[in-house]
Amino acid sequence: MPSCYKPQIVCWKSDLSDGGGPGNKRRANYVACATDNYLEIYRKRKIIGPYFGFFLFGSAEISFIWLFFYFLNENRIDLFVIIMSFVISIVGGLVVYFILFNLLFGHYAPVSNPIRFNRKTGKVYLYEAVAMKWMFKAWPPRRAFKDLNKFHIKVYDWENFYGVLQGSTVVNVKGGSFEDYALIGAVCEPNSYKLIEYIYIRKTNCFAEDWDWICNFMGSDIDNSIDQAGLEYVDYKPWDAKTFMQVKPKLKITSKQIEGLDKASKAGSKEELAQIEEEYELTKTVYPVE
């Protein structure tokens, strides 16, 4: 049976329910902070790969071009080799361009693009680099480079936020294969399955226990503390839980609305949220940060 969210995500495995599963989670290194009001989770990226790939493929491209001109100068190359060398150099240049963009993204964008779930107000706050949409594209356009230092803070209602399991088969170089799963958030228009956007959350297992815990956090006895609501989480360090306004310290926040979003995402009630939204004029769903 296909996904009820349209358009369906690539490598879709299943739509996830909004409840059930374990309420206890003793190990979850993706959680930045879990308080009685809100849950903030990391969305960390690995940035070592692009540096290594750029050095490897860049060196190979330069070496190949040097060898081509060396043999051409020595008159030890025929027409077929010239044509093939030209094609290979173009393909190699495209690969280097692709890796270069991901390298720049990894260097300038924050290591983590956190998501904050507020159980008392039923809101989801997403901190996301604009350039995220260009990641792993086969041919990122030039304007993608202009987005490297731009960010959005998006606000969604939890009731319109759903979970999707994405999976793909990964071939092991030493033989065999395994399934690689990712937890994806699906944001839809109110009272419908018409998709607004898919949001990458994190790698997960085939049972998507992380999603079960998030659903339990957002819906289980929200008037009580985490422990009294039957939710357990004991493996995070409070000093790691910096506000998502501090993910990129050298970024200067001058907007009153952006400052208010941090307070709104920590609000302890819908009444407190309403006061903050009125004070800081928080009427939008997407707030640009540049």
> What pLDDT does residue 254 have?
56
Q: Which tokens is 10 given?
A: 């690539």
Q: State the pLDDT at residue 18.
A: 78
Per-residue confidence (pLDDT) for residue 276, from 0 to 100? 94
pLDDT at 173: 62
Position 256 scores a pLDDT of 78
Domains of the chain, by residue range, sit at 12-45+109-289, 49-108
Nearest to 34 by CA among 290, 220, 188, 261: 220
108 token code pair: 């300038």
Q: What is the mean pLDDT of each run of 10 residues along the chain (290 residues)?
A: 86 84 71 84 69 74 74 69 74 76 69 86 90 64 72 92 87 71 92 91 82 87 80 61 49 68 91 95 84
pLDDT value, residue 134: 67
